[in-house]
Amino acid sequence: MKNCLLIIEDERLFGVELQRFFTKQGWEVEWVTTLDNARQILIQQKIDPTAVLSDMNLNDGNALDFLEEIREKPNQGVEWLFLTGYGGIADSVRALRLGAFDFIEKPCDLNRLNLHIQGAARSAKAQRRLLQEAQSSHSKYSTQALLGQSQSSQNLRAMLDKIAQVPFSSLILKGETGTGKGLLAKIIHYSGKRAAAPLVEINCAALPHDLLESELFGFEAGAFTNAGKRHRGLFEQAHQGTLFLDEISELELDLQSKLLKAVEELKIRRLGSENEIDIDVQIIAASNRDLSKQVADGRFRQDLYHRLSVLSVEIQPVRERMGDLDELVPTFIAEFNAKSGKQVNTNLSEKTWQLLKSYGWPGNVRELRNVIERCVLLSEGQEFPLQWLQLPQVQLADQSTLIDDRKHIRIPLDGSLTLQEMEKYILQKALQMTGDNVTAAAKLLGSTREAIRYKVQKYQLIH
């Protein structure tokens, strides 16, 4: 396949000469005489040029202004070269600042110009390979990576698709430990417009307070003991990308105030420095605690909470979406089969499903994944080994009562479920047993049809 060269030149004799020369060099050449024609070609993606060779000043505008306009458009992996009869230092500096490959003064020998174009083509191809590799590695973080067909999972995927289309400044992920907030942060970043820029992650609970400040904002050499050289903080490292602050509720109040200033002004100051640095980041914060309650208790700044919660996404715990196990469990089994060389069957027995769905999963998806990994690694054949489930509150010795008597429900009394959650769980089970028949569920629970219908609407159990 030939490389494509777009030539923008309003001197017709010179344009014809360039077109003829580069066609002989094996290029597919597209020649236009105005920036307006070039704009239509590039924006509508009628061609996919490897390089663009443009005169600097054309009858309908300045080509540098055009590059500044067009560089945010979909065409990526394209190198720009400029020709000018009266170039100055200011123009050449601006061209390089805008990402131009080269700035060449007329008159220029065509063979020498060809060397510049060939160099631009090699650079463009290298950029495209990197983009393809990045897109390939990021594809696993599409919204389809969020497994589960429950209504809450479907709603969550739809919300993530919307978020990916908007240039938000900050967002809060809410959910219990193990629900997959880290995965959601990756999905949001790699599905959005900053996917090609860095995603920088930090767990705010994993570092001491003093270290956390220097990690976030960086420091100058000599700022404190052992600060031997300058260190770029995470804000700088995430420039034009995303900074993911996990367990943000663990930040102390004085550091919260510094974070608020950075998020509001998009400026930071390294420790030991007097100069401010402009930053361009979107913030994703996550917490397994109720931040609004933390605000009410005086443990989290209200102004920071409101600044971060421009968008808010909540992930339901596994016990609220047990139907997702139908997709999660086989997927995890297949994953660990591939990693360990095992061949455990993904078609589980009814007994196994009863055990899995009768457990509250306080550790959520993380706990489920770890349990499945253990079972696959310790399996001795193709049958899923029940003996390695080892789920608390669901002991194997008492499985007969659990499996055979469908009129009994096990509920963990270990603090993992609130009274309201227990009520919802019991109602879910009753509806499952009766095929979502509200009248039959009311009979099972010794209640009235009206009372059960009210509870169903309250908990949004039937859609």
Mean pLDDT in residue range 195-205: 90
Beta pairing class for 61-62 and 57-58: antiparallel
What is the rounded CA–CA span in Å between residue 196 and residue 361? Answer: 36
Q: Half-sphere exposure (CA, 13 Å, Cβ side) for 97?
A: 9
- Please indicate whether residue 462 or residue 298 has the higher confidence score (pLDDT): 298
What is the rounded CA–CA span in Å between residue 277 and residue 274? Answer: 10
User: What percent of the chain clears pLDDT 70, i.e. is strictly above it?
Assistant: 91
pLDDT tens for 114-141 read 999 999 998 888 888 777 665 555 667 8
Per-residue confidence (pLDDT) for residue 395, from 0 to 100: 43
Is 208 exposed, middle or buried (CB count within 10 Å of its CB: 0-12, 13-18, 19+)? Answer: exposed
pLDDT higher than 60, residue 403? no
pTM of this structure: 0.62
Q: Whose structure tokens read 């010795």? A: 397
CA distances, 237 to each of 222, 243, 304 (Å): 21, 9, 22
User: What percent of the chain clears pLDDT 90, i.e. is strictly above it?
Assistant: 46
Q: For residue 402, name the pLDDT band (cuts at 50, 70, 90).
A: very low
Per-residue confidence (pLDDT) for residue 130, from 0 to 100: 72
Q: For residue 340, name the pLDDT band (cuts at 50, 70, 90).
A: very high
Per-residue confidence (pLDDT) for residue 32, from 0 to 100: 92
- Please indicate whether residue 42 or residue 404 has the higher confidence score (pLDDT): 42
pLDDT higher than 90, residue 437? no
Is 416 exposed, middle or buried (CB count within 10 Å of its CB: 0-12, 13-18, 19+)? Answer: middle
Q: For residue 376, name the pLDDT band (cuts at 50, 70, 90).
A: very high
Task: Tell me which H or E stretch contains 450.
Answer: helix 449-459
Per-residue confidence (pLDDT) for residue 416, from 0 to 100: 64
- Does residue 239 contact residue 282 with C-beta atoms inside 8 Å? no
Q: What pairs with residue 81 in β-bridges?
A: 53, 102
Least confident of 13-22, 409-418, 431-440: 409-418
Per-residue confidence (pLDDT) for residue 96, from 0 to 100: 77
Per-residue confidence (pLDDT) for residue 97, from 0 to 100: 80
- Please indicate whether residue 144 or residue 5 has the higher confidence score (pLDDT): 5
What is the rounded CA–CA span in Å between residue 288 and residue 106? Answer: 63
What domains appear along the chain, each with residue ranges and CATH number? Answer: 4-137 (3.40.50.2300), 166-315 (3.40.50.300), 317-405 (1.10.8.60), 418-463 (1.10.10.60)
One DSSP character per residue, 157-218 reads HHHHHHHTTS--SEEEEE--TTS-HHHHHHHHHHHSTTTTS-EEEEETTSS-HHHHHHHHHE
Per-residue confidence (pLDDT) for residue 398, from 0 to 100: 41
Mean of the per-residue pLDDT values of the chain: 86
